[in-house]
Amino acid sequence: MTQILRPKVLIVGGGPGGYVAAIRAGQLGLDTVLVESGRLGGTCLTRGCIPSKALIHAAGLYEEAVLASARTGRFGIHLSQAPSLRFEETIDWKDAIVDRLSGGVGGLLRKAKVKVVVGWATFTDAKTCTVDTTEGPVTVQADHVILATGSTAVELPFLPFGDRVVSSTEALALPEVPATLAVVGGGYIGLELGIAFAKLGSKVTIVEAMDRLLPLYDAQLTAPVSRWLEKHGVTVHLGARALGQDHEGLLIQTAGGKSQLVVPAERILVTVGRKPQIGGWGLEQMALAMDGRFVKVDDRCATSTTNVWAIGDLVGEPMLAHKASAQGEMVAEIIAGRRRRFDPAAIAAVCFTEPEIVSVGLLPEQAPEGVETIVGQFPFQANGRALSMQAGDDGGFVRILARKSDHRILGVQAVGRHCSEFAGEFATLMEMGAVLEDVAGVIHVHPTLGEAIHESALKALGHAIHI
């Protein structure tokens, strides 16, 4: 017999968009049902942000140990033996973090009195879905529906996933470190995971279609990452196209179509972007307007159908977990009667490469035409804390862009080890409409990397102290 639930709010998808919307809706006293077919936490927590950062961290520790055991041992630290890597234990450790966080999300949902239904939801009309659960079908009919079905990896038709061709999901659960790894796509995932596997001992080759890596950022910002790749023996083919595979590896056409070659590859990691999860759950029954492949929403995340809302990767760029969560929280509050709009001054983004890149607002080259700007740039080489934790010798810096007329900050970027932690300060500056003098007037703790943010503002004002 089909069980029928009639909550005020139905949320489909338990990723950082959906589960945050559910917790907030529960906190606000809304009767809420969350449907998730997999594990709570979605892509981010189970096969994205968290497991990738765990692997990146472990890879960094392993690389340090390898260096300490080599003749190049640094800081007077030497290991008499080369470290051994039991990769299955690394994967177990990563999985334990995922288990803990996914369980924690379950606990938070229970605390917020959200009912979780486990199974795949299929809509029959805009407000009704049926979920296949292990205990039989459950029909959920709600006043409000929040769609948070997320995204999946883009597959290349000539390199279908399977066997040695993997997406990030399989790459985060490999049985062993591949001796050779070809990465197709030098964007966020390709570089983050490519660098991690290079540190773990793989011979990595990156094949990128555009003429530079991370084309989203400017060349100055990505130069330290390119230098790291070169120094660590990672081969990069820019302006190149993957064509397919043969028994030896990945077949590519190099820049300008000049020649074809085979990149040796025990595994081929395809990271050429992600696409919204719009298939297989009855979207076509809901009569929603689309914006290309994404569900179209307004600045309240309202779709074209009354009381059907959509958030996260399903509604477009940037496909970032913190954007999904911010939208989820907002929609829950709107349903509870609050007046909210999704209009952030900026959404910070971090690429967890070696070194890390963090960016918020405009890059210098994106300054609007006719607006005169000033740029202050401060190198980590001149920052004591950076030098004391090896974050000063990779060419990293903080760069601040401001309008010349009133010193209003338009964008801030940094590249350097550990600088992902700047994201919060950068975003706060943008949201508060800060000017250079605001940053210059804040006493930044010594010795911290953050002093470089202060100095970059002083530099833009023409009186940096340490350069």
Please select the residue that binds ligand FAD; options are 206, 321, 331, 414, rule is CB under 6 A.
321
- Which range, of 12-20, 62-70, 237-245, 329-337, touches ligand FAD by CB under 6 A? 12-20
Contact between 426 and ligand FAD per CB under 6 A: no
Among candidate residues 435, 292, 319, the one with its CA nearest the CA of residue 376? 435
Contact between 192 and ligand NAD per CB under 6 A: yes
Contact between 36 and ligand FAD per CB under 6 A: yes
Distance CA 4, CA 233 (A): 59
What one-character-per-residue DSSP string does 218-244 give? Answer: -HHHHHHHHHHHHHTT-EEETT-EEEE
Q: Distances from the Cα of 221 to the Cαs of 192, 213, 355, in angstroms? A: 16, 11, 10
Among candidate residues 176, 153, 351, the one with its CA nearest the CA of residue 269? 153
Q: Which residues are catalytic?
A: 446
Q: Which of residues 207-226 bind ligand NAD (CB under 6 A)?
A: 207-210, 215
Contact between 184 and ligand NAD per CB under 6 A: yes
Please select the residue that binds ligand NAD; options are 165, 198, 320, 391, rule is CB under 6 A.
320
Amino acid at 450: G
Q: Which is nearer to ligand NAD, 331 or 350 (CB)?
A: 350
- Reading the block at residue 309, the tokens are 């809302």
Binding residues for ligand FAD, total number by CB under 6 A: 35
Contact between 188 and ligand NAD per CB under 6 A: yes
**Strand, coil or helix: what is 446?**
coil
List, in order, residues 6 or more apart from 232 with CB less than 8 Å away: 198, 199
Contact between 250 and ligand FAD per CB under 6 A: no
List, in order, residues 6 or more apart from 387 with CB less than 8 Å away: 380, 381, 393
- Within 222-348, strands assigned E span 235-237, 241-245, 249-253, 260-264, 267-270, 274-276, 290-291, 294-295, 308-310
Measured from the CB of residue 297, what is the shortest distance to ligand FAD in angstroms?
12
Measured from the CB of residue 339, what is the shortest distance to ligand NAD in angstroms?
29
Please select the residue that binds ligand NAD; options are 350, 398, 430, 460, rule is CB under 6 A.
350
Strand pairing category for 356-361 and 409-416: antiparallel
Contact between 353 and ligand FAD per CB under 6 A: no
- Name the site residues for ligand NAD (rule: CB under 6 A): 156, 184-190, 192, 207-210, 215, 241-242, 271-274, 318-320, 349-352
- Name the site residues for ligand FAD (rule: CB under 6 A): 12-18, 35-38, 42-44, 48-49, 52, 120-121, 148-151, 168, 189, 277, 281, 312-314, 319-322, 324
